[in-house]
Amino acid sequence: MNRQELVNLIREKQSYLCVGLDTDIHKIPKHLLSHPDPIFAFNKAIIDATRDLCVAYKINTAFYECMGIRGWESLQRTVDYIPSGIFTIADAKRGDIGNTATQYAKTFFETYRFDAVTVAPYMGKDSVEPFLAFSEKWAIVLGLTSNEGSKDFQMQRVGEGYLYEKVLKTTMEWGTPDNLMFVIGATQTAQLGEIRKLVPHHFFLVPGVGAQGGSLKDISAVAMNADCGLLVNASRAVIYAGNGEDFAQDARRAAQEYQQEMAAYLAEKLAVKQ
Amino acid sequence: MNRQELVNLIREKQSYLCVGLDTDIHKIPKHLLSHPDPIFAFNKAIIDATRDLCVAYKINTAFYECMGIRGWESLQRTVDYIPSGIFTIADAKRGDIGNTATQYAKTFFETYRFDAVTVAPYMGKDSVEPFLAFSEKWAIVLGLTSNEGSKDFQMQRVGEGYLYEKVLKTTMEWGTPDNLMFVIGATQTAQLGEIRKLVPHHFFLVPGVGAQGGSLKDISAVAMNADCGLLVNASRAVIYAGNGEDFAQDARRAAQEYQQEMAAYLAEKLAVKQ
């Protein structure tokens, strides 16, 4: 999916919600466990219940990888089930050099046909560029994350600024707003406005809303740009909103609350452009 | 495998060679392609030919992941085939937070039963610690890598030193020489001696010997400690040493050259201790 299609999708659906399918076999409703593929059964129900409310699904690959081959089968079925026209993100945080990075890009862009994959920046340019060589595919590079450990390295001073600022400024030169996004943690609202000034045009994937505690209102106020420029992810807050037979309706209600709030922020921000 | 067992293994085999199974379907001898699992057939032959000469095998997961479920089957068969008593490394460079990191640790330590997994440090303490919580398992954290892109961030100044030094010093406090190693690129021999002073006791996994160009002699001279403290990886230089029907013998010859050279360096260094 290219940038214009993504922007159109956001306007049509009045939503910049990304639903995170961090599906944990230990957390899904018990009645699904008799299904031959409980993880897929859960994801299918969540997708059916939220597909008109979100613009993206993000699959956290760790939850699938830990189940071995069975997990990859669930992942494959899930990606195949996501309707075309919805943006798909492999949250895999891969990072390796040259030929190995190309293998990872092929994995997520060709073998599984995701639109985007999250990428770790520590190894530098030759670990990111291979992901930028695929037409209408995206690398989403870790900028500033929302966890406690972001202080250990990302927030160390490098020259005039922080390491994460160096990462953003340097990485921006390797790609364009058409093939590169950044992960920017939502619990860091203070920095989010500054980051938007530094990176005016790129999309940000913002995790950490809901269960992890960021405020959608604050994020939207400081980081939305003229094309929206945001994909705000909610995982647990949506997919585990309920735990009974009607878990999918509970997930829909949670997603709908986000979508309605987003519609209001979009209307404010984009009014001039419509 | 614990540290003492690894040190014993190095002394018994007179080797600190790690053979990297970066097995690429496009590079293996053509006659293997009729095998139901050509990747495993190749790895099996390489393992049979080198198992007495090396102390570790490193599987670069990207080469398996890009083949989808079939690739994970080849990976599983390969790990299962590696004889017990040889150290196994998943070169997966994972890096994510908290619960997700735990899922990755389970993937490589429990689902596939590797001894060690490579880990990216960018997200900080809560992305590394979950890997250190498993008994007799290892996190191998990226310190200084051997690629061109290592200059982009790893070699940026942070306070008095470089980012990679900050990463080494900080990460050392999270684990011990019994559960934590570092990836230190071999093309950076100049820094390797300095890094050994900074990190005297931990094992280093040193990629970049052979096809990538580092000198085994230089590395061993500056970075070996009293317990050896080195796992030196060769991938292409061993596994693609030949490309005919007798590729495994060619691989054996290449591995044997490394092993014999290593035996000499070990004899010099460890003579006092034996």
Determine contact: B150 vs chain A, CB below 8 A: yes
**Residues in chain B within 8 Å Cβ distance of A158:** 156-158, 163
Report d(CA B198, CA B193) in Å as an integer.
9
Which tokens hold the place of B148? 């061109």
| Sign of CA pseudo-dihedral B46, B48, B50, B55 | positive
Determine contact: B80 vs chain A, CB below 8 A: no
**Residues in chain B within 8 Å Cβ distance of A72:** 68-69, 72
Report d(CA B206, CA B225) in Å as an integer.
14
Dihedral over alpha carbons B208, B209, B210, B211 (to 10 degrees):
0
ipTM: 0.95
Nearest by CB to A93, from B69, B96, B152: name it.
Answer: B96
- Reported as a single tens digit per residue, the pLDDT across A214-236 is 789 999 999 999 999 999 999 99
> B170, B198 in Cβ contact below 8 A?
no
* Alpha-carbon gap: B115 to the closest alpha carbon of chain A (Å): 16
**Residues in chain B within 8 Å Cβ distance of A65:** 103-104, 107, 111
Is the confidence at residue A210, as pLDDT, over 70? no
Determine contact: B201 vs chain A, CB below 8 A: no
With helix as H, strand as E and coil as C, how does chain A read?
CCHHHHHHHHHHHCCCEEEECCCCCCCCCHHHHHCCCHHHHHHHHHHHHHCCCCCEEEEECHHHHCCCHHHHHHHHHHHHHCCCCCEEEEEEEECCCHHHHHHHHHHHHHHCCCCEEEECCCCCHHHHHHHHHCCCCEEEEEEECCCHHHHCCCCCEECCEEHHHHHHHHHHCCCCCCCEEEEECCCCHHHHHHHHHHCCCCCEEECCECCCCECHHHHHHHHCECCECEEEEECHHHHCCCCCCCHHHHHHHHHHHHHHHHHHHHHHHHHHHC
Determine contact: B157 vs chain A, CB below 8 A: yes
Q: Do B68 and A104 touch (CB under 8 A)?
A: no
Is the confidence at residue A53, as pLDDT, over 70? yes
Q: B159 exposed, middle or buried (CB, 10 Å; 0-12, 13-18, 19+)? A: exposed
Residue A237's nearest CA partner among A217, A208, A266 is: A208
Which has the minimum average pLDDT: A11-15, B107-111, B185-189?
B185-189
Determine contact: A152 vs chain B, CB below 8 A: yes
Q: Do A125 and B149 touch (CB under 8 A)?
A: yes
From the candidates B58, B93, B137, B217, which is the catalytic residue? B93
| Neighbour count for residue A4 (Cβ, 10 Å) | 10
Per-residue pLDDT, averaged over A169-174, amounts to 98
* Alpha-carbon gap: A90 to the closest alpha carbon of chain B (Å): 13
Per-residue pLDDT, averaged over B148-154, amounts to 96
Q: Do B149 and A123 touch (CB under 8 A)?
A: yes
Nearest by CB to A153, from B100, B126, B166: name it.
Answer: B166
Candidates A103, A113, A156, A165: best to mutate against B (most CBs of B within 10 A) is A103
Question: Among residues of chain A, what percentage have pLDDT more than 90?
Answer: 90
Dihedral over alpha carbons B181, B141, A158, B200 (to 10 degrees):
0
pLDDT recorded at residue A209:
79
**Residues in chain A within 8 Å Cβ distance of B145:** 97, 122-123
pLDDT band at A274 (very low <50, low <70, confident <90, very high): very low
pLDDT band at A213 (very low <50, low <70, confident <90, very high): low
pLDDT recorded at residue B269:
83
Domain holding B267, by residue range, is: 3-273
Nearest by CB to A153, from B63, B122, B152: name it.
Answer: B122
pLDDT recorded at residue A211:
58
Is the confidence at residue A256, as pLDDT, over 50? yes
pLDDT recorded at residue A190:
77
Report d(CA B263, CA B257) in Å as an integer.
10
Nearest by CB to A150, from B123, B166, B167: name it.
Answer: B123
Amino acid at A205: L
Instruction: Determine how β-strand A230-234 pairs with β-strand A204-206.
Output: parallel
Determine contact: B96 vs chain A, CB below 8 A: yes
Report d(CA A2, CA A257) in Å as an integer.
27
Number of domains in chain A: 1
Count Cα neighbours of A91 within 13 Å in the Cβ-side half-sphere: 27
pLDDT recorded at residue B271:
66
Write out the catalytic residue numbers of A: 93
Which tokens hold the place of A28? 């899904």
Mean pLDDT of chain B: 95
CATH number of the domain enclosing A99: 3.20.20.70
Report d(CA A200, CA B138) in Å as an integer.
41
Is the confidence at residue B274, as pLDDT, over 60? no
